[in-house]
Structures are given as structure tokens and as C-alpha cells.
Amino acid sequence: MRSLAVVLVTLGTLGGASSAGAIVGGAGAGPTDSYPFMAALVDHQSASAYDGFFCGGSLVAPMLVLTAAHCVAARTAAPGSIDVVLGRTSLAASVGERIAVTDVIVNPSFDATLLTGDVAVLQLARPAAEVPIALAGSPPAVGVTTMLLGWGNLTGLGGTASYPTTLQRLDAPVLDASACDLYSQFRTAFELCAGDLTALHGACDGDSGGPLVTGDAAASWQLVGTVSYATAPCAQANAPPVFQRADVVVPFLDLQRPPGVRALVADDLRDGRIRLHWSARPGALPADHVIVVVAGRTAITPSVTATSVVLTGLPHDRPVDVALTIGNATYGEAQAGATVVIVGRPQVASPPRVTVRAGVARCTLTWRGILPIHRSTRWLIDGRRGPSTATLRVGGLRGHRVACVVTARNGDGSRAVQSTATRLR
């Protein structure tokens, strides 16, 4: 059943106020219009998104949809009864995606009678492919033109209901709070008054939970409100709908976001040591556990406020899988991983020595343990710097003293070793 909350108002000529449904007086979205964040809440048992549609919503994170609490409060014990449809402007289309809901979290401050605190969050079964909308950090000023989106009733003033398949949009200027004085429960600290004061323009049943936005596709959208309630019948003159302010619900929304890893960097890979450092996704619930796993075994559990850790004594010169888990026991975990090669300082069994064969001097040495990845040789002739070559032709150097210096490197670790000077004969 399509919804628009209605609350009773004192002005009898206006009738009652109800949760808002479809948009009256708007225009259908065009074929090139795109609102990737726009969500349709549909009944899971309905194969048709149009037949099963009952409320709107906004994708605010890959796995979170913000909607009105009065749309879903009765379904908290049965989140699986809701699917979320994204990526389409027509409920009759087959494009986009339909994702099951695994959890319904209603604002604990929600008052079902007054419709205050009328927000809820739906946790999706998997990340959506669509792009979430950003939440405004403050309410728009009076006079700013916003846009209302929804699939609600097209007919206001109590006429025969008609629900569109195509998403409707309607410009809604932000009004002074006094325009919503007809609602005794209206609170400017939490709610926004916006809309056209002429009759047959505004939210109606089916629009509840849907977005009120500013911006555009080019300049990026911002969510400023969610449809909450209006008069019954809807779309009366001088009776604008009421929206829950998006900037006010940010703290509630953040509590539903599991911790996330924004970046994981592994560096300082030398001598069996690695330094991991990371940054958490902003706006997420603080972690209550952090686990670092190296090569399939738990290596360390840093402080939940840590952003880096140094691990030592790790295997050298072979790929090692490193995984970082940041989690919250209530709302889930996020993981990031990398495969690194930890190298150590090259080791030699003994200093190099100069050997001469067939008129060519070579620098020979035996490596042990950690082998070098990069190696270079330079020669000293009578203590002075000579050529940087792998071998040295004896030629006219007979009777001179020569030595070789071998420098080997593995990442940041390096070792330079010099042979004892040898007189060429």
C-alpha cells in the first residue's frame, strides 16, 4: 500500500495531515534523466516493481537506503519483506537492480503519532552498483529551489488516485517555517518546509521517504530532506508538505555504517619487516576490533584507534598476503588486503675475491640466506676508482693491485662488500 503520512491539523478546512505519497503537479522524468540514488521500496512478494511499490527512498551509501520511518516501522521484524529497486526512472522497466533488505533500523526517536523523527535506514543484502547521494551538511536557505522526486499519487484534493510508472519531479522552493505553522508538531530544528503554495502541487501518498534534493547531475546532487507528512487530502493550497532534514539525520545514519577502510598501504619492506598504515572511511561507526592477518595467521590486534602497525620477523623474498579487518560487532566488518614481497638485507658467506682466468678478472662471492635482487660491481685499481663492469680485462694492469666492490640491494635494504686487493700477474 502506497504511503504518505497524515497528521491531524487544527484547521478543519484543511482536513487531516497524512504521510506523503505521489507527486501532484510535477513532470515525468525524461529519457536522458538519471537519478541513480532514487530508490523504490517494493514488496518482496510482488514480481512487479510497479504493483509492489509503496514508498520512496534515497541510496546514501552502497548498502544503505534512507527512507521514512512510517514506511517501514511495521516491518522491522520482517526486513526480508522489502526489496529496493534502483537505477530506473520507470517502475515498468527492467533496467537497474532489485536488492533484498536484510535489516530495518528505525530512528529510536520516531513518534508514530506526531511523525517526528520520521527516518529509517534499510540495510541492503549487497552493495548497490548505483552512485549514492551525498547528504547536505546544513539546510538550504529560504527561497532556494529544491526538487522533489517520487512515484506517488498524481491526483490531489481527494480525487481518484492515479499512480505513474514514470518517476515524477517537481520544483519545490524552501519556505519560511511559518508556512508550516498549520502543523502543530512542526519543528524547524528537525524538519523543513518546502513546496508550492498553490493547489494541486506537492507530495501525495506514495512519495513518503523519497528525496528532496538540490544540485544537478553535473554539479552533483545533495539530499536535503526526505518526504514525511502533509495534509489529507494532499496538494491543498497553502498546505506544503514537511520533510525531515537530511543534515539532522547524519548522526543517526552514521551509526548504521559499518567501519570501512579507505586506503591500505604497505611499505618499509625490508629485513623481514613491514609497516601497514590505513585510513578509515569517514562517517562510519567507530570500530570495536581491528585484526591484521599475515600469511594466513593472525599477526596482531592493534588498538581500535590505531592507523598503523609494524610487523617484524616475517618471511623473506616470497609473496605474502596481508589482510586488515576493521569491524563493529553490531553492524559488520570491512576488509582490505594486499600481496607484498618482503625482502631482507642481502647476506654473504664471505667477502668477495678476485679470480683471474684467460686474462679476465672476475669478482666472485657466495651468497647465503637472503639473495640479492639487484647487484652491481665496480673496481678499484691501486686504491683508485676504476670501471663499473662485471669483469676487468687484465691487459696492461699486470703488476697493479686491484679490488672489487659488490653492492647488492633488496628494496630499501642494501649491502656493499669489498674484496682484499690482489696484485695482478
Q: Which of 70, 83, 201, 228 is catalytic?
A: 70
3-class DSSP assignment, residue 199: coil
Amino acid of residue 252: F
Q: What is the CA radius of gyration of the chain?
A: 34
Which of 414, 416, 413 shows the shortest CA–CA distance to 272? 413
Residues 115 and 19: their CA atoms lie apart, in Å, by 8
Q: How far is C-alpha 36 from the geometric centre of its chain's CA atoms? A: 15
Q: How many CA atoms lie within 13 A of 268 on its CB side?
A: 11
- Whether residue 118 lies in the annotated active site: yes
Tell me the CA distances in angstroms from 172 to 223, 236, 389, 425, one per residue in order.
13, 14, 77, 97
Residues 261 and 256: their CA atoms lie apart, in Å, by 16
Lookup: cell for 10: 487544527
Locus of grid cell 497528521: 7
- Whether residue 277 lies in the annotated active site: no
Q: Which residues pair with 356 in a beta bridge?
A: 361
Q: Which residues pair with 194 in a beta bridge?
A: 174
308 near 300, Cβ under 8 Å? Answer: no
Q: Which of 58, 83, 90, 118 is catalytic?
A: 118
For 396, residues 6+ apart whose C-beta sits below 8 A from its C-beta are none
Residues 208 and 191: their CA atoms lie apart, in Å, by 14
Q: Which of 208, 228, 271, 316 is catalytic?
A: 208
- Whether residue 70 lies in the annotated active site: yes
- Catalytic residue set: 70, 118, 208
